[in-house]
Chains A and B, each alone.
Chain A
Amino acid sequence: MTTTADVSPVRIEAAQCRTAFGDADATCAALVAGERALQPRPVLGSQGGDPVPLALAPGRSLDETAPPNWISVVKALAAEIPPAAWGSARYPVFVTSSNFGVGSLYAFQRTQVTEHLQYGTPFATVEFLRQQLGWGTNVAVLSHACVSAHLGLMCATRALQAGFADRALVFSFDFLSPFVTGGFHALKILNAGFPAPYAARETGSIGLGDGAAFAVLGRATGSAPGGAFTIAAQSLHNEMHHFTANRADGAGFSACLAPLVTAAAGRRLWVKGHGTGTIEAGRLEAETLASLFPKAPLVSWKGSLGHTLGSCGLVELAIVLAALRAGRAPGTVGATAPFFADTVAAESFSTAGFDSVLLTSNAFGGAHAACLLRHG
Chain B
Amino acid sequence: MVERYLQAIHCEQPGLEEPAATRERLRDAFPKGATRRMTQLGLLLGSVLNKLSPGEDDTLVYASVYAESRALEEYLVSFPSASPTLFQTSIHPSAVQQAMIARQQPVRHFFPHTGRAQLVAHAVQSALLAFTPRSILCGGEERGTWLRERGAASDSSFAFALALSSDSTGALAKLSLAPTDRDEGELTLGEFFAALTERRPLNQSAAPGLWLTLNWQ
B89 CB, nearest partner CB in chain A, Å: 8
Chain A residues, CB < 8 A from B150: 108, 114, 117
Q: List CB contacts (< 8 Å) of A105-125 with chain B.
A: 105-106, 108-110, 114, 117, 120-124
Q: A143-B114, A255-B106 are in contact. List 8 more A-B contacts (CB 8 A).
A: A89-B182, A138-B207, A142-B114, A143-B92, A144-B92, A155-B125, A183-B75, A365-B97
Q: List CB contacts (< 8 Å) of A79-128 with chain B.
A: 87-90, 92, 98, 102, 105-106, 108-110, 114, 117, 120-124, 126-127
Chain A residues, CB < 8 A from B119: 123, 141
**B105 pairs with A240, CB closer than 8 A:** yes
Q: List CB contacts (< 8 Å) of B77-104 with chain A.
A: 77, 79-84, 87-89, 91-94, 97, 100-101, 103-104
User: Which range holds the interface residue count of chain B?
Assistant: 35 or more
Partner of A123, one of B83, B91, B106, B115: B115
B149 CB, nearest partner CB in chain A, Å: 11
**A89 pairs with B181, CB closer than 8 A:** yes
Does B72 reach chain A (CB closer than 8 Å)? yes
Partner of B84, one of A114, A126, A187, A242: A187
Q: Which residue of B lies closest to A243 (CB)?
A: B88
**A364 pairs with B91, CB closer than 8 A:** yes
| Bound complex: CA A30 to CA B103 (Å) | 45
Q: Which residue of B lies closest to A247 (CB)?
A: B106
Does A63 reach chain B (CB closer than 8 Å)? no
Given A139-B115, A143-B92, A240-B104, are A159 and B125 also a contact pair (CB < 8 Å)? yes
| Bound complex: CA A114 to CA B2 (Å) | 43
Chain A residues, CB < 8 A from B10: none
**B106 pairs with A137, CB closer than 8 A:** no
**A88 pairs with B208, CB closer than 8 A:** yes
Chain A residues, CB < 8 A from B81: 186
**B101 pairs with A183, CB closer than 8 A:** no
Does B210 reach chain A (CB closer than 8 Å)? yes
**A88 pairs with B101, CB closer than 8 A:** no
Q: Which 5 A-B residue pairings sit nearest by Cβ, starting from the closest?
A: A89-B209, A183-B87, A138-B208, A140-B122, A240-B100
| Bound complex: CA A120 to CA B131 (Å) | 34
Given A49-B80, A186-B83, are A140 and B101 also a contact pair (CB < 8 Å)? no
Chain B residues, CB < 8 A from A237: 106, 108
Q: List CB contacts (< 8 Å) of B175-211 with chain A.
A: 179-184, 186, 207-210
| Bound complex: CA A344 to CA B208 (Å) | 45
**B125 pairs with A140, CB closer than 8 A:** yes
Does B57 reach chain A (CB closer than 8 Å)? yes
Does B161 reach chain A (CB closer than 8 Å)? no
Q: Which residue of A lies closest to B207 (CB)?
A: A138
Does A44 reach chain B (CB closer than 8 Å)? yes
Given A44-B80, A164-B179, are A136 and B104 also a contact pair (CB < 8 Å)? no
Does B113 reach chain A (CB closer than 8 Å)? yes
**A89 pairs with B208, CB closer than 8 A:** yes
B23 CB, nearest partner CB in chain A, Å: 18
**A140 pairs with B152, CB closer than 8 A:** no
**A239 pairs with B80, CB closer than 8 A:** no
Residue ranges of B at the interface with A (Cβ–Cβ < 8 Å): 2, 56-57, 65-66, 72, 75-77, 79-84, 87-89, 91-94, 97, 100-101, 103-119, 122, 125-126, 129, 131-132, 147, 150-152, 179-184, 186, 207-210
B161 CB, nearest partner CB in chain A, Å: 16
User: Which range holds the interface residue count of chain A?
Assistant: 35 or more
> Which of B82, B89, B97, B210 has the most chain A CB atoms closer than 10 A to its own CB?
B82
Does A236 reach chain B (CB closer than 8 Å)? yes
**B88 pairs with A364, CB closer than 8 A:** yes
Q: List 19 A-B contacts (CB under 8 A).
A: A6-B131, A106-B76, A109-B77, A121-B65, A121-B66, A137-B208, A140-B115, A140-B125, A144-B92, A144-B93, A159-B125, A186-B81, A187-B84, A236-B108, A238-B107, A240-B103, A242-B101, A252-B106, A364-B91
| Bound complex: CA A296 to CA B50 (Å) | 41
A150 CB, nearest partner CB in chain B, Å: 11
Chain A residues, CB < 8 A from B88: 183, 187, 243-244, 364
**B91 pairs with A138, CB closer than 8 A:** no
Chain A residues, CB < 8 A from B183: 88-89, 136, 138
| Bound complex: CA A6 to CA B182 (Å) | 29
A52 CB, nearest partner CB in chain B, Å: 12
B110 CB, nearest partner CB in chain A, Å: 5
Does A265 reach chain B (CB closer than 8 Å)? no
**B115 pairs with A47, CB closer than 8 A:** no
**B207 pairs with A1, CB closer than 8 A:** no
**B84 pairs with A183, CB closer than 8 A:** yes
Q: List CB contacts (< 8 Å) of A160-199 with chain B.
A: 162-165, 178-179, 182-188
| Bound complex: CA A1 to CA B57 (Å) | 6
A138 CB, nearest partner CB in chain B, Å: 4
Q: Which residue of B lies closest to A309 (CB)?
A: B91
**A2 pairs with B93, CB closer than 8 A:** no
A125 CB, nearest partner CB in chain B, Å: 10
A315 CB, nearest partner CB in chain B, Å: 19
| Bound complex: CA A263 to CA B122 (Å) | 28
Does A145 reach chain B (CB closer than 8 Å)? yes
Partner of A140, one of B104, B110, B118, B151: B118
